[in-house]
Amino acid sequence: MDLSPAALADPIDALRHLRADFPILNEAVHGKPLVFLDSAASAQKPIQVIDAMSRTMRTQYANVHRGLHWMSERTTDACEAVRDQVAGLIGAPSREEIVFTRNSTEAINLVAHSFGSLIRPGQAVVISEMEHHANLVPWQMLRDRAGIELRVAPITDAGELELEALERLLSDGKVALVAVTHMSNVLGTVTPARRIADMAHAAGARVLFDGSQMVVHRRVDVREIGADFYVFTGHKLYGPTGIGVLWGRRELLEAMPPFLGGGDMISTVRFEGSTWANVPHKFEAGTPAIIETIGLGAAISYIESIGFDAIAAHEAALTDHALRRLAEVPGLRVIGAPADRGGVISFTMDDVHPHDIATLLDRNGIAIRAGHHCAEPLMRRLGVSATARASFGLYTTREEVDTLAATLEQIRSLFV
Amino acid sequence: MEQDTLYQRQVIDRARAPAHAGSLDGATHTGEGTNPMCGDRVRVGLSLTKGGTVTAVRHETRGCAICIASADMMAGLAEGRSALELGALSRQFGEMLRTGEGAEQVGELGVFAPLHQHRSRIRCATLPWTALVEALDGSKDR
């Protein structure tokens, strides 16, 4: 971290030197320098991640956990070391509580299947109005197959969870699990995880946080927030696709039946029946995403070398700057105004559809997302069919935000 | 700012002030197209003579500029044409969006030829045609 007075005075500029680590930022799109403002969908990859994955395939690759040869043992060691890194990243008490999955979606499906099988008919799961489909559809599927109730905690117009309403949803003691986002992928809202966990526990419920957005931006400690399950995905954390994480309290993971069956997740197999491996391997059937796991490890090393203090300060200052600049664009409306928010900003513009905004920005080299952001019920709650969304990574600069705002003004002038 | 040939004045003006928007009183046939990816929706109402000629078309479009302009131009082109002719025009339009060629065969819809370079947006232009074809298909059942 750059500790010079200038850098400390400007947390946005303090990370500027890191752009050199991201080769893709040198690319041009439609003849313009790439301005990548879609990191909430998937972040770009630093050379450290690219090299770690490539190096593994070039020098040290074999299947894990079963080979008795040098390559397999080295690869197994490299993969298992990432389990320790993930435990460190989120403050998990034990490495055995870290289950590798394909992504957050698969991690939530795992919990919906396996923890879900312990939920009895008549019990309920609570989600919120601002969930990504990944933390909504698996619970609908569980509801429909297991006869449980799915309750939806409302949000305020500012885009914050209505805690009194959540309390009421919990009050009959029938709720087995509260599953909510730790940071909204649409509104940027950071939810008060500790309070939610305390409320859930007081009502006898467990709590799962979808940390897909949150782990990218701030230090997360699963013990501090009182989580029972925490999920996130590697590709938003500057790592590769195809690798995600479920953390769960050991006693819960041990009580849960397996999710997928196959190799690696068993202890013994006979035609009459099989027994399961200990956690976490009970939940990791089949050859895992070896290269991607190692890539995730490199990504965690990379962000820990920067430090979450610098990352969070950069993002907070950049988000403030962006909210100020976007407020100056005539006809632009930022969706939601949560008090505690991350670097994800959804907006609409009078007279200009989000898809037209996205296409015209793209012609100017600026990548944003437009649509319902895998959160259709939230769009309905907000009374819009789609929004445009700009989201920031540690490589985003003040100038890129200014370019966005200036180009949006020009786009609007086309339409009015 | 790079404006892109796709967003010509013709498209933007048509989207801002469509000539054929609204519901059609006494429509004999209706159809709807929705795009679940973005929530856009086009409803089409039309009047068809016994001989199979379209005499009037109105559209109610909730969508982007491409979608509204395409719907409005489609409505203008449809009046006076037969269901058969419109089926052929729909196919020509789709082919043009795929290849970027044949703009001269589809009347003012030729302005959408640059869409072939924006694969993710082609559906925006074809959505009105989905609604029109549904309306016309319904006519065959009667």
Q: Specify the domain boundaries for CATH 3.40.640.10 within chain A.
A: 50-304
- pLDDT digit string, tens, across residues B45-54: 999 998 889 9
ipTM over 0.90: no
Query: Roughly how many angstroms between the first and final C-alpha of chain A, as a whole number?
Result: 45
Distance CA A358, CA B66 (A): 13
Per DSSP, A191 falls in state P
What's the confidence (pLDDT) of residue B141?
44
Interface A-B: count of C-beta contacts within 8 A: 57
Q: Taking CB atoms and an 8 Å limit, are A355 and B12 in contact across chains?
A: no
What's the confidence (pLDDT) of residue A351?
81
Kindly report the nearest CA distance between residue B3 and chain A, in angstroms: 7
Both tokens of residue A276? Answer: 């399961």
More confident residue, B142 or A366: A366
Write down the CATH number for the domain with range A5-33+307-415.
3.90.1150.10
Which pLDDT tens digits describe chain A residue by residue (416 residues)? 555 555 567 999 999 999 999 999 999 999 999 999 999 999 999 999 999 999 999 999 999 987 789 999 999 999 999 999 999 999 999 999 999 999 999 999 999 999 999 999 999 999 999 999 999 999 999 999 999 999 999 999 999 999 999 999 999 999 999 999 999 999 999 999 999 999 999 999 999 999 999 999 999 999 999 999 999 999 999 999 999 999 999 999 999 999 999 988 999 999 999 999 999 999 999 999 999 999 999 999 999 999 999 999 999 999 999 999 999 999 999 999 999 999 999 999 998 999 999 999 999 999 999 988 888 899 889 888 889 999 999 999 999 999 999 999 999 999 88
Q: How many CB atoms lie within 10 A of CB A213?
A: 28
What's the confidence (pLDDT) of residue A4?
58
Distance CA B11, CA A162 (A): 43
Nearest CA among A166, A170, A193, A181 for reference residue A124: A170
Q: Which residue has the tokens 């008060």?
A: A192
Q: Taking CB atoms and an 8 Å limit, are A356 and B64 in contact across chains?
A: yes
Per DSSP, A365 falls in state T
B63–chain A Cβ distance below 8 A for any pair:
yes
- pLDDT digit string, tens, across residues B89-111: 999 999 999 999 999 999 999 99
Residues of A with Cβ-Cβ distance to B38 under 8 angstroms:
354-355, 370-372, 385-386
Residues in chain A: 416
- Average pLDDT of chain B? 91
Best CATH choice for the domain B9-140 from the list 2.40.370.10, 3.90.1010.10, 2.40.40.20, 3.20.20.70: 3.90.1010.10
Q: Does domain A50-304 have CATH number 3.40.640.10?
A: yes
Q: Specify the domain boundaries for CATH 3.90.1150.10 within chain A.
A: 5-33+307-415
- Is A368 within 8 Å of A120 (Cβ atoms)? no
Q: Taking CB atoms and an 8 Å limit, are A385 and B38 in contact across chains?
A: yes
Q: Taking CB atoms and an 8 Å limit, are B64 and A354 in contact across chains?
A: yes
Is A79 a catalytic site residue? no
Residues of B with Cβ-Cβ distance to A348 under 8 angstroms:
none
Sign of the alpha-carbon dihedral angle for B18, B23, B29, B31? positive
> Can you give the pTM of this predicted structure?
0.93
